[in-house]
Amino acid sequence: MSISQNAPTRHAKLIAWVNEVAQMTQPDSIYWCNGTKKEYDAMIKIMVDGGLATPLAKKPNSYLFRSDASDVARVENRTYIASKSKDDAGPTNNWINPEELKTTMRSLYKGCMKGRTMYVIPFSMGPIGSPIAKIGVELSDSPYVVTNMHIMARVGKKVLEVLGENGEFIPCLHTVGKPLLSCQDDSGKWPCAPLDKKYIAHFPETREIWSYGSGYGGNALLGKKCLALRIASVQARDEGWLAEHMLILKVTNPEGKSKYVAAAFPSACGKTNLAMLVPTIEGWKVETVGDDIAWMKPGKDGKLYAINPEAGFFGVAPGTAMDTNPNAMLSITANTIFTNVALTEDGDVWWEGIGYDAPGKLIDWTGKPWIQDKGNKSQAPSAHANARFTAPAQQCPAIAANFDDPAGVPIDAILFGGRRPSTIPLVHQAKSWNHGVFMGSIVGSEITAAALDLKAGTIRRDPFAMLPFCGYNMGDYFAHWVKMGEKNPNTGIKFFFVNWFRKTKEGKWLWPGYGENSRVLKWVFEQCEGTGKSVETPIGIMPTADAIELPAGVSADDMKELLTVDVEGWKAELADVKQNHYSKFSNLPKALAEELAALEARLA
Between CA 226 and CA 172 the distance in angstroms is 9
Kindly tell me which of 468 and 551 has the beta carbon lying closer to ligand SAT: 468
Nearest distance in Å: CB 84, Mn ion: 28
Q: Are 442 and 593 in contact (CB under 8 A)?
A: no
Kindly tell me which of 292 and 352 has the beta carbon lying closer to Mn ion: 292
For residue 381, CA distances in Å to 123, 447, 554 come to 36, 18, 31
Quick one: what does residue 102 bind among ligand SAT, Mn ion, none, with the CB cut-off 5 to 8 Å set by partner type?
A: none
Q: What is the 3-state secondary structure (H, E, C) of 48-97?
A: HHCCCEEECCCCCCCEEECCCCCCCCECHHHEEECCCCHHHHCCCCECCC
Nearest distance in Å: CB 587, ligand SAT: 27
Non-local (6+) Cβ contacts of 166 within 8 A are 11, 13
Stretch that binds ligand SAT, among 79-87, 217-225, 352-360, 418-426 (CB under 6 A): 217-225
Does 143 contact ligand SAT by CB under 6 A?
no
Quick one: what does residue 125 bind among ligand SAT, Mn ion, none, with the CB cut-off 5 to 8 Å set by partner type?
A: none
Does 272 contact Mn ion by CB under 5 A?
no
Does 225 contact ligand SAT by CB under 6 A?
yes
* H or E stretch at 388: strand 388-392
Query: Among residues 269, 396, 470, 528, which one is catalytic?
Result: 269
Residues 58-87, interacting with ligand SAT (CB under 6 A)? 74
- Which of 109, 314, 351, 472 forms a contact with ligand SAT (CB under 6 A)? 314
Quick one: what does residue 314 bind among ligand SAT, Mn ion, none, with the CB cut-off 5 to 8 Å set by partner type?
A: ligand SAT
Between CA 203 and CA 97 the distance in angstroms is 10
Does 198 contact ligand SAT by CB under 6 A?
no
Between CA 124 and CA 538 the distance in angstroms is 45
Q: What is the 3-state secondary structure (H, E, C) of 144-190?
A: HHHHHHHHHCEECHHHHHHHCCCCCCEEEEEECCCCCCCCCCCCCCC
Nearest distance in Å: CB 431, Mn ion: 28
Kindly tell me which of 275 and 554 has the beta carbon lying closer to ligand SAT: 275
Does 233 contact Mn ion by CB under 5 A?
no
Between CA 266 and CA 419 the distance in angstroms is 9
Q: Does residue 172 have an active-site annotation?
A: no
Does 267 contact Mn ion by CB under 5 A?
yes
- Which of 59, 198, 224, 435 forms a contact with ligand SAT (CB under 6 A)? 224
Kindly tell me which of 218 and 589 has the beta carbon lying closer to ligand SAT: 218
Kindly tell me which of 127 and 266 has the beta carbon lying closer to Mn ion: 266
Quick one: what does residue 198 bind among Mn ion, ligand SAT, none, with the CB cut-off 5 to 8 Å set by partner type?
A: none
Stretch that binds ligand SAT, among 78-86, 218-226, 402-410, 576-584 (CB under 6 A): 218-226
Does 488 contact Mn ion by CB under 5 A?
no
Nearest distance in Å: CB 479, Mn ion: 24
Between CA 604 and CA 598 the distance in angstroms is 10
Stretch that binds Mn ion, among 127-135, 263-271, 280-288, 547-555 (CB under 5 A): 263-271
Does 178 contact ligand SAT by CB under 6 A?
no
Quick one: what does residue 150 bind among Mn ion, ligand SAT, none, with the CB cut-off 5 to 8 Å set by partner type?
A: none
| β-pair partners for 31 | 119
Does 244 contact Mn ion by CB under 5 A?
no
Stretch that binds ligand SAT, among 110-118, 216-224, 296-304, 344-352 (CB under 6 A): 216-224
Does 338 contact ligand SAT by CB under 6 A?
no
DSSP 318: T
State CA 162 to chain mean position distance: 26
Q: How many CB atoms lie within 10 A of CB 424?
A: 26
Residue whose Cβ sits closest to ligand SAT: 218
SS3 state of residue 16: helix
Q: Are 71 and 215 in contact (CB under 8 A)?
A: yes
Phi, psi of 593 (to 5 degrees): -60, -40
Between CA 268 and CA 245 the distance in angstroms is 12
Does 17 contact ligand SAT by CB under 6 A?
no
User: Can you list the pairs that 589-598 forms with residues at least 24 positions away whose Cβ atoms lie under 8 Å?
Assistant: 589/475, 589/478, 589/479, 589/482, 591/434, 591/437, 591/482, 592/434, 592/437, 592/438, 592/441, 592/478, 592/482, 594/434, 595/434, 595/435, 595/437, 595/438, 596/438
* DSSP conformation letters of 265-283: --TTSSHHHHHT---SSTT
Does 213 contact ligand SAT by CB under 6 A?
no
Kindly tell me which of 292 and 526 has the beta carbon lying closer to Mn ion: 292
Residues 433-492, interacting with ligand SAT (CB under 6 A)? 450
- Which of 143, 218, 319, 543 forms a contact with ligand SAT (CB under 6 A)? 218
State CA 127 to chain mean position distance: 18
- Which of 9, 124, 148, 267 forms a contact with ligand SAT (CB under 6 A)? 267
Does 217 contact ligand SAT by CB under 6 A?
yes
Q: Are 71 and 190 in contact (CB under 8 A)?
A: yes
Q: How many CB atoms lie within 10 A of CB 579?
A: 9
Residues 363-392, interacting with ligand SAT (CB under 6 A)? none
Between CA 391 and CA 371 the distance in angstroms is 28
SS3 state of residue 203: strand
- Which of 138, 244, 292, 352 forms a contact with Mn ion (CB under 5 A)? 292
Does 404 contact Mn ion by CB under 5 A?
no
Nearest distance in Å: CB 170, Mn ion: 19
Nearest distance in Å: CB 218, ligand SAT: 2
Q: Give which of 143, 189, 134 is closest to 162, Cα–Cα.
A: 134
Tell which phi-psi region holds residue 215, choosing left (phi > 0), alpha (psi between -120 and 50) or beta: alpha
Kindly tell me which of 75 and 362 has the beta carbon lying closer to ligand SAT: 75
Quick one: what does residue 74 bind among ligand SAT, Mn ion, none, with the CB cut-off 5 to 8 Å set by partner type?
A: ligand SAT
Nearest distance in Å: CB 316, Mn ion: 9
Active site amino acids: 269
For Mn ion, the binding residues (CB under 5 A) are 267, 292
For ligand SAT, the binding residues (CB under 6 A) are 74, 217-218, 224-225, 267, 314, 450
